[in-house]
Structure 1
Amino acid sequence: MKVLTFGTFDHLHPGHIAYLSEAAGMGDLTIIVARDRNVEHIKGAAPQGLEQDRLLALEEVFPDATVVLGDSEDYLRPVRDAAPDVIVMGYDQKLPPGVTEDDLPCPVQRAGAYNPEEFKSSLRRENS
């Protein structure tokens, strides 16, 4: 089964690893890394790690996965290119602005939370 995940993955932490490991356990994993300019547009601040560094970190931790950068203009282009059977999202992850589950080519499944009181990315950003 072709499994797709996406996200910023800034400061890769155990919560990210648990989420991506859960997705990898479902099949052949593709990880889309959000582009720096898209992160800044969506979250109002640039990621602390550059997109290429975040991509390389994921390739190191998940060598069997296909890790690609997202598209700067069309959030769904890499999703369509990957042609997944399922998209696995983080337990609290949101779709990009203007994208709904109806726009996606396959079902969405939510990963379980992993110590969210400690490893939720927004909390880690606030404390860094």
Structure 2
Amino acid sequence: MVRALAQGTFDLLHPGHVHYLEEAARMGEELYVIIARSSNVTHKDPPILDGRQRRDLVGALDVVDRALLGHESDIFVPIEEIDPDVIVLGHDQHHDDRAIERALDERGVDCSVRRASPREPAYDEELLSTGRIIDRVCEERC
């Protein structure tokens, strides 16, 4: 059975996230999703929702077989436990594909690393990023 793995923050779940996870699911027969712990999100503003809420929302999607919180200090621990055949990165995630491949090789994890495609907005006002959703809420409600 081909096991795919996706990962991310998934704060304020939106259609871009769903597109990413649907595409990741098509790359395997099982889809595992690692949800970043809030304390590990250092490359952007901290998540609005706590990790358990984000995990539960992602886990409720039909395409996801299992959603789990990431490790507190070593992002590769759950990857080693899951032992995926393919890791699918979001099209705009900040990760360096080659650096991940090297780290996986060093740890003896035999899997490929692929990028999901971007999802184009279906209409002009469709919001496909958490930051844009927050901006819209602030514009209209603050």
Q: Which residue of 1 aligns with 2:54?
A: 54
Give, in angstroms, the shift of residue 122 of structure 1. 4.0
1:1-128 equivalences under 5 Å are 1-27=2-28, 28-39=30-41, 42-43=42-43, 45-62=45-62, 64-95=64-95, 100-104=100-104, 105=109, 106-115=111-120, 118-128=127-137
Root-mean-square deviation (CA, aligned residues, Å) is: 2.1
Give, in angstroms, the shift of residue 127 of structure 1. 4.1
1:64-112 residue CA offsets vs partner (Å, 9 max, x unmatched)? 511110000111101111101000011111228xx63311232111111
Q: Distance in 2 between matches of 1:46 and 1:64?
A: 24
Q: 1:20 to 1:72 in 2, by over 3 A?
A: same
Sequence identity of aligned pairs in percent?
Answer: 36
1:10-41 residue CA offsets vs partner (Å, 9 max, x unmatched)? 000000001101111222100000001111xx
Q: What TM-score does the superposition give when structure 1 sets the normalisation length?
A: 0.85
Q: What TM-score does the superposition give when structure 2 sets the normalisation length?
A: 0.77
Residue 71 of structure 1: SS of its match in structure 2? coil
* Contact 2:89 2:115 (C-alpha < 8 Å) held by counterparts: yes
Q: 1:63 to 1:91 in 2, by over 3 A?
A: closer
Residue 43 of structure 1: SS of its match in structure 2? coil
Residue 53 of structure 2: SS of its match in structure 1? helix
Structure number, greater radius of gyration: 2
* Contact 2:33 2:64 (C-alpha < 8 Å) held by counterparts: no
Q: Which runs of 5+ in 2 are unaligned?
A: 138-142
Letter in 1 for 2:40: N
Q: Distance in 2 between matches of 1:63 and 1:114?
A: 17
Give, in angstroms, the shift of residue 120 of structure 1. 3.2
Instruction: Report the count of equivalent residues.
Output: 124
Q: Distance in 1 between matches of 2:56 and 2:23?
A: 20
